[in-house]
A and B are shown apart, each in its own frame.
Chain A
Amino acid sequence: MTMQNLTALPYVAWVEPQDEHRIVLSTRLRLARNLSGRNFPHRLNDAEAEEICGKLAAALPQDGEFAGEDWQILRLDELLEREQGVLLEKHLLSRDILQHTQGRALAVNAAQTLALMFNEEDHLRMQAILPGLQPEAAWQRLSALDDRLSERLDFAFDDKLGFLTACPTNLGTGLRASVMLHLPALQITGRLEGIFAQLPQAGMTVRGVYGEGSQSEGNLFQISNRLTLGLTEEEIISRLRRLTEQLVAQEVQAEEWLRANRLLWLQDKIGRACGILSSAYLLSSAEAMQQISLVRLGLAMGLCDKIDWRELNLLMLAVQTPFLLTDSRENLSAAERDAARAKLCRQKMCGSAQADIL
C-alpha cells in the first residue's frame, strides 16, 4: 500500500458490499488503552508524546496473524489538511486528534481494516473496521491485536475498574462497538425519532456520521454502546448485533410499508434523485448525500438499477470535499467544488463517456 492510496483514493474496506439488506454499512470496534506510569496525552509535552508514539509504533505486531499487515505510520503534523480530511471521511481518524497534531500519529494496515491512533484522548485507540454487520469478526481481530500489543506494552489496569482511560466513561473494557446504518425508510415514515428515543434503555446511543456531537448526513446513523464497564466484550458485541438486527428488521418493514402504500410516490422520488445525480451541474455536499441516499434506497428495494452497489458506496465517499480537493490538486472555491462533485456524480451514474457529452 502506498501513502497515496491511504490519504487520497476514495477507497476503504468498508465500501465492499456485505449486508444483503444494504442497511448496515460498516461495523467499527474501538479499544482504548493507556501505558501505565505515563501521563495521559493531554498532560504530555510534544517530546514526551513523540516518545510514546515511537514506543507504540515499535510494538506493532509484524508476524503470525499479523505478518502481512504492512503497517503504514503517518505523523499527523506532516499531513496536509485535505489528507487529514480524507482519513476522517474513511473513519480511520477522529476529529479530536486533529486539535493538536504534534506528537500524534496514525498506524493503518494495508487492508485499511485496522487503524491505531496514538495519543488521541488515550495513548492508544485501536479500531477494527469491517464492511456490513461483522462485530464478532472485528472483535476477533481487535482482541488479537490487543493481546499482541500487551505482550510488549504495559497497559494501565485495575482489578475493579478494568483498563484505565483518560475519561471515566471509557473505563473497563475500553470498548466502543458501533455500526453505521442507512435508515431512509424509517426516516421517511417518521418512525426514527421514536426508535432512537428507546436506545438509551437498551444501553445504546445514536451519534452522527463522524462521531459524538456530529450531524447525520444522507440518513446515515451511528449506533454504539453507552456502557463500557460491568459487561464482557462479548456481551457488548452481542447486544450490538441484536439491536442492529432489530433496526434492520424495522427498516425492512418500513420499506415494505412504502412499497405497499406509497409506491408511485417513492418511485418518483428515487427517479428524480437519479435524474439529479446524472444531470446536475452543481451539487452541494448535503444535496448529493440526500440524493445518493434515495438512490441507495432504490437499490435496496429493487426500484433502481442505474448504478452498481459498490460504485454507489464509492461515490458516497468520493463526493466528500477532501477527495474533490485531492483530485484537483489545488484549492477550489465553493462553486467549483459543487461543479466537481456534480461532474463526478454524472460520471458514475451515466458512465464516463456519456458524462463528457452531457
Chain B
Amino acid sequence: MKDHSSFKQAFMKNMLLGLKETNASSKIMSLQERKNAIKLSADVAMAFARGNTTWTRAIVVANLAKKEQCEALFRGILGKGYERMTRYSSYKSFKIQRSRKILKRSHKMCCVRRRNTTHRPQSLGVDVLARRMVEKRTQVLRRLIPGGESLDGFSLLNEALDYVIYLRAQVDLMRCLSDQKCAK
C-alpha cells in the first residue's frame, strides 16, 4: 500500500509488456484465448510488480506450470533474469507439487482420525463447533490465496492481507484500462 503508485507504474508496464507478448498472434485468437492471455498477463504483471512473496511466487509457478505459451511472456517481462528465474521456479514447482501431495495425504488422515474420534460423543461443545467452522473457512481461504495450501494460520492471514491489497489495486488498474478502452 505504501508504494502504491510505484506499484501501479510497474504493473502497467508489465501488463502492457505482457499484452504485447501474448497478443502478438491476436488475430487468430478466439475470445476465450484472448481473455486468458489478458488475465495471465495481468496476474503475472501483478506478481512481478509486487515482488517476492509467497503468493506471487505461487502465481508465477502456477502459470509456468500451466502452459508453455506464457514462456514468451515471462521472457518479455523479465528480460535477462528469465533463465535464472525459470530454473529456480521449475525446481520450486516440483517441490510444491510434491509437498502438496504430502499435505493432502496427511490432511486426509487427519480427517479420518478426527471422524473416528470426535463423532462418537454426540454432544459437541460450542467451542468445538466454532473451531470447526473457523477451520473450514481457513481451508477455503487457503484454496483462494495462491500458494496458501502450505501455510499455517498466521502466515496465511499475512498473505491474505497482502494479496487483498494488491488484488484490489489490480482490479482498479484493470478497470482504468478497460474504461479507457471503452471510452475510445
State whether these chains interact. Answer: no
Listed in ascending order, the chain B residues whose CB lies under 8 Å from chain A are none
Listed in ascending order, the chain A residues whose CB lies under 8 Å from chain B are none
